[in-house]
Amino acid sequence: MSTKVKFIIFFILVFWGCSCFFFTCKSSDEAPEESRIIEKPNIIFISIDTLRADRLACYGYEKIKTPNIDFIAKRGVLFTQAICQVPVTLPSHASMFTGLNPTSHNVRENGTFRLDNSERTLAEILKESGYNTAAFIGGFPLDSRFGLDKGFDFYDDDLSDRKDQETIQGKISWQGHKVSTFERKAISVVESAIKWLSSNKESSCFLFIHLFDPHASYSPPAPFKKLYAHQPYDGEVAYVDYCLGKFFKKLEKWKILKDALIIITSDHGESLGEHNYWGHGKKLFEPSLRIPLIISFPSKMLQPKAVNGLVRSIDIMPTILELLDQEKVTEIQGVSLLPLMSDEEEKKLNLASYGETFFPRLRFGEEELRSYRTERWKYIRLIKDNKTVREKLFDLQNDPEEIQDCAKKEEKKTQEFASLLARVIENDRKLAVNKNTFFAMDEETRRKLKSLGYIR
Ligand SMILES: [Zn+2]
């Protein structure tokens, strides 16, 4: 072969090689981000009941494997300091869906309240703008009778088709309701969502998925029961992650995952022995109020990052609407978190979070609790018979475990926060006027609420 021919062959090979390299690059990458502007991207809103942020691997917990939630976190915005407004399932979800504090939507407890018909919910707004809306519920507190089904075309709150035999059997009387089952396993919720999506995936969908498993009692199925034998709560969290993995796999297969707006959060945390308390609802300490919040939206070119400023459950709804360029809802307490998410450098919103729980008062005749929290300070007020019986103040920066009550030492600060709390309650209350949120419960429950002065 002559040198000239060799040179020509070499040139052709180099040219072919280069072409292949560029073709490979382009095909292995997704289409350039700029060209993927989706008019109505799918929205997947996942609420994992009773999930503490600090029990997820993506929040730095090393004793658990949550690869599927971590995957979404890795490509999204992770809020390190997200706070719920009330550590009770129905009121907290009502706040997520309306952008309102409980003082305004006036849903104060599970079972004995319902969301008023006049509320404008996230699902309603999305349905009006052309979304196909569906919800898949894991626990009875969100049954459609309590009003959270507003705006959903399909609301699957049928807990009876569960596969899990460990779930409570028989008729249970709870808050005046006779129910045969109280919850269903995550796999049943996820399978229902997959089934619905398989025949609706050609339309733009808003899916709300509620998974109840980390809620007590903690009894994860195999193999998680064995893997997390010393910490069954973690086992429930790992099991939920596994079920979400199955769901995300389907989304990927149907090419939904890459463009969808995905939100992962919780309605409240769980106290695992802190302050000698197990559970949620009775206290306003951080383990009950701290929640995870992850928002991933690759097609909007949201860059992965961690946001450290304080954010709240009530901010989720306005954030979703702004991300979708939807109408701005007025007269709500939540704000869009987009200013924290979009820039390289984190902006400051300096948000303050209102908190409350009426659960001890309505369920046990004890104190009701209210709180006002900034990034550094948390003020808690205990109220009995409409009178303040105790005030507490915690410096979260120097005392993150809320051990040292410095209400007396920091008297001026305590007074300042007491009046800030009073102002929030007063301002919010105007929006609660004329809202009919009492559920027509049985006579016994009604009498109990009446004796507590809660209903007339
Ligand atoms: Zn809950």
Q: In the 3-class helix/strand/coil scheme, how is the chain assigned residue by residue?
A: CCHHHHHHHHHHHHHHHHHHHHHHHHHHCCCCHHHCCCCCCCEEEEEECCCCHHHCHHHCCCCCCCHHHHHHHHCCEEEEEEECCCCCHHHHHHHHHHCCCHHHHCCCCCCCECCCCCCCCHHHHHHHCCCEEEEECCEHHHCHHHCCCCCCCEEECCCCCCCCCCCCCCCEEECCEEECCCECCHHHHHHHHHHHHHCCCCCCEEEEEEECCCCCCCCCCCCHHHHCCCCHHHHHHHHHHHHHHHHHHHHHHCCCCCCCEEEEECCCCCEECHHHCEECCCCCCHHHHEEEEEEECHHHCCCCEEECCCEEHHHHHHHHHHHCCCCCCCCCCCCCCHHHHCCCCCCCCCCCEEEEECHHHHHHCCCEEEEEECCCEEEEEEEECCEEEEEEEEECCCCCCCCCCCCCCCHHHHHHHHHHHHHHHHHHHHHHCCCCCECCCCHHHHHHHHHCCCCC
pLDDT per residue as tens digits for the range 338-351: 999 976 676 789 99
Question: What number is the average pLDDT over the span 262-281?
Answer: 97
Q: Between 183 and 127, where is the model more confident?
A: 127
Residues 210 and 132 in one domain: yes
Please indicate, yes or no, if residue 29 is contained in any of the structural domains: no
CA 139 to ligand 1 centroid distance, Å: 9
CA 92 to ligand 1 centroid distance, Å: 8
pLDDT at residue 272, as a whole number: 97
445 pLDDT tier (thresholds 50, 70, 90): low
Domain boundary among 292, 324, 351: 351
CA 29 to ligand 1 centroid distance, Å: 40
Q: Between 372 and 181, where is the model more confident?
A: 372
Residues 368 and 249 in one domain: no
CA 267 to ligand 1 centroid distance, Å: 5
Residues 281 and 373 in one domain: no
428 pLDDT tier (thresholds 50, 70, 90): confident
Question: What number is the average pLDDT over the span 357-370?
Answer: 92
Residues 328 and 361 in one domain: no
Most distant CA pair in the chain, distance = 105
CA 140 to ligand 1 centroid distance, Å: 10
Please indicate, yes or no, if residue 162 is contained in any of the structural domains: yes
Please indicate, yes or no, if residue 1 is contained in any of the structural domains: no
Residues 325 and 383 in one domain: no
Domain boundary among 351, 374, 397: 351
Domain boundary among 334, 351, 368: 351
pLDDT at residue 13, as a whole number: 43
312 pLDDT tier (thresholds 50, 70, 90): very high
CA 7 to ligand 1 centroid distance, Å: 72
Q: What is the CATH number of the domain that holds 444?
A: 3.30.1120.10
For residue 138, give the nearest of 237, 208, 211 by alpha carbon: 211
Tell me what the pLDDT averaged over the chain comes to. Answer: 88
Task: Read off the amino acid at residue 456.
Answer: R
Question: What number is the average pLDDT over the span 278-296?
Answer: 97
Residues 269 and 303 in one domain: yes
pLDDT at residue 142, as a whole number: 96
CA 13 to ligand 1 centroid distance, Å: 63
Please indicate, yes or no, if residue 194 is contained in any of the structural domains: yes
169 pLDDT tier (thresholds 50, 70, 90): low
Please indicate, yes or no, if residue 28 is contained in any of the structural domains: no
Please indicate, yes or no, if residue 127 is contained in any of the structural domains: yes
Residues 319 and 432 in one domain: no
CA 142 to ligand 1 centroid distance, Å: 9
CA 51 to ligand 1 centroid distance, Å: 9
- Using the predicted structure, report yes or no on whether residue 15 has a pLDDT greater than 50: no
CA 268 to ligand 1 centroid distance, Å: 6
CA 15 to ligand 1 centroid distance, Å: 61
182 pLDDT tier (thresholds 50, 70, 90): confident
Please indicate, yes or no, if residue 7 is contained in any of the structural domains: no
For residue 200, give the nearest of 141, 167, 156, 241 by alpha carbon: 156
- Listed in sequence order, the residues at least 6 apart from 391 whose beta carbon sits closer than 8 Å to its beta carbon are 379, 380, 381, 382, 407, 414, 418
**Domain of 358, in residue numbers:** 354-451
Please indicate, yes or no, if residue 23 is contained in any of the structural domains: no
CA 379 to ligand 1 centroid distance, Å: 23
CB atoms within 10 A of CB 223: 12
CA 49 to ligand 1 centroid distance, Å: 5
Residues 109 and 82 in one domain: yes
Q: What is the CATH number of the domain that holds 93?
A: 3.40.720.10
Residues 114 and 45 in one domain: yes
CA 216 to ligand 1 centroid distance, Å: 10
CA 411 to ligand 1 centroid distance, Å: 34
CA 45 to ligand 1 centroid distance, Å: 15
Name the least confident of 42-46, 305-309, 324-328, 432-436.
Answer: 432-436
Domain count, the chain: 2
Residues 147 and 94 in one domain: yes
Residues 278 and 376 in one domain: no
Cα 170 to Cα 179: distance, rounded to the nearest angstrom = 8
CA 48 to ligand 1 centroid distance, Å: 8
Using alpha carbons, list the distances in angstroms from residue 94 to 30, 120, 177, 314. Answer: 37, 11, 20, 9
CA 22 to ligand 1 centroid distance, Å: 50
